[in-house]
Amino acid sequence: MTRTLPRTPLRLLAVLAAVFVTVPIAPATAVAEPTSPTLTWAVQPANQQGPDGRRWVERTLDPGQVVTEHLAVRNLSDGAVVFALKAADGYLTDKGRFNMLPSNRESTDGGTWIRVQKTVSVGPNQTKVVPFTITAPNDATPGDHPAGIAAAVTSAGGTVAVESRVGFRVMLRASGTVTGSLAISGLTARYERSWNPFSAGTVHLRYTTTNDGNIAVTGTGRTAATGPLGLAARQTATTVEETLPGGTREVGARLDGVWALGRLQTRVDLTPAILSGDPAGAEIKPATATVTIWALPWPQLALAAALAALALAIRNTVRRRRRRIAQLLADARNEGRAEARTSALAGNAAKSS
């Protein structure tokens, strides 16, 4: 990786890489001049002759084994620079970028396996190849022990000394039985309904995955939601990005087109995949988690209630009309009978006279 900084007359220290950050390390009294020339450098894995095209170093070692690797420090600036060389434990940031512990934190894992000279002086537009050794402890536990190695410079940023590092991963694996495993915890689900009774809703899920194995893994699987008797089943693919041993990831998923039919069972299935290498006899442990939520079909119930009320109103209206017509017919018949009786009485009276 390459980094560019304003160059200052302060002492120049170590470098870190590929995704490493600029870190404030201590108060400083000097202030960088705005007109300072820029300082640019790069650090890459190398062999004895120079950069060898690797993005990072990967080595599998037996306990007690010692190997030698190389890094190339390239100074792209116009003046000579003294870089500090450092190794430290590696980790992934919340955004999934690889980083290594800052200088004010002590390494306890893979960073302690690496030994490298403290500084290297590199002339303008020159490259220096520096060897470093990796020693696996005699009691090294099987699995991955991530680390990083970097070249850094320290410059003044206002009243704070800032250490800027450029480097790369050193992915170390101790031989032995390895396990790729992801655990799922904190699974929650929420149903988001559509108030359009003719549209289905969405199930939103969130959960945490933890690499409780001993090697770096990714994860693939599915997220599903199922209603009563297997109705309204929906599923979608889910993935988990690279997770180092002991690391965690927050994962979100959504299932569209889910109808609210009451009880919904949501399920997450994950299968870990070994990120690099293919160790013989590796144990792979899939993970499953479920949670049940209730999704009542309120829009559909409201529509059904409205339709039922409309049907009842129509039925009552029809019944009233029928009763009115029946009453009119009865009144007409009664009037007819009355007129007939009146006519009969009038006829009888005429005959009598």
Question: Pairing between strand 179-192 and 283-285?
Answer: parallel
pLDDT tens, residue order, the chain (353 aa): 655 555 443 333 333 333 354 443 332 222 334 445 688 999 999 999 999 999 999 999 999 999 999 999 999 999 999 999 999 999 999 888 999 999 999 999 999 999 999 999 999 999 999 999 999 999 999 999 999 999 999 876 666 678 899 999 999 999 999 999 999 999 999 999 888 888 888 999 999 999 999 999 999 999 999 988 878 789 999 999 999 999 999 999 999 989 888 899 999 999 999 987 666 678 999 999 999 999 887 776 777 788 888 888 898 889 889 888 988 888 888 888 887 778 777 776 766 66
- The predicted-structure confidence for 122-175, as pLDDT tens digits, reads as follows 999 999 999 999 999 999 999 999 999 999 998 766 666 788 999 999 999 999
Torsion of CA 203, 213, 173, 170, to 10 degrees: 40
Taking domain 179-296, whether its CATH number is 3.40.50.2300 is answered by: no
Residue 166 CA, distance from chain mean position:
26
Query: Domain 2-174 has what CATH class?
Result: mainly beta
Bridge partner list, 100: 90
Where are any strands of DSSP class E within the chain? Answer: 2-6, 22-27, 38-46, 57-61, 66-75, 81-92, 98-100, 114-116, 119-122, 126-135, 143-157, 160-174, 179-192, 201-211, 217-226, 234-243, 248-258, 262-274, 283-285, 287-295
Structure-token pair, residue 147: 């680390």
Q: What is the pLDDT of residue 1?
A: 60
Q: Give the whole-angstrom CA distance, residue 276 versus residue 93.
A: 19
Cβ-count burial 88-113 (b if 16+ within 10 Å, e if not): bbbbbeeeeebbbbbbeeebebbbbb
Q: Tens digit of pLDDT for each residue in 65-101?
A: 999 999 999 999 999 999 999 999 999 998 889 999 9
What are φ and ψ of residue 276, in 5° steps?
-140, 150
Question: What SS3 string covers 28-91?
Answer: CCCCCCCCCCEEEEEEEEECCCCECCCCCEEEEECCCCEEEEEEEEEECCCCCEEEEEEEEEEE
C-alpha gyration radius of the chain: 39
Taking the C-alpha atoms of residue 246 and residue 269, their distance in angstroms, rounded to an integer, is 20
Which residue in the block uniquely carries the two structure tokens 């390895």?
Answer: 178
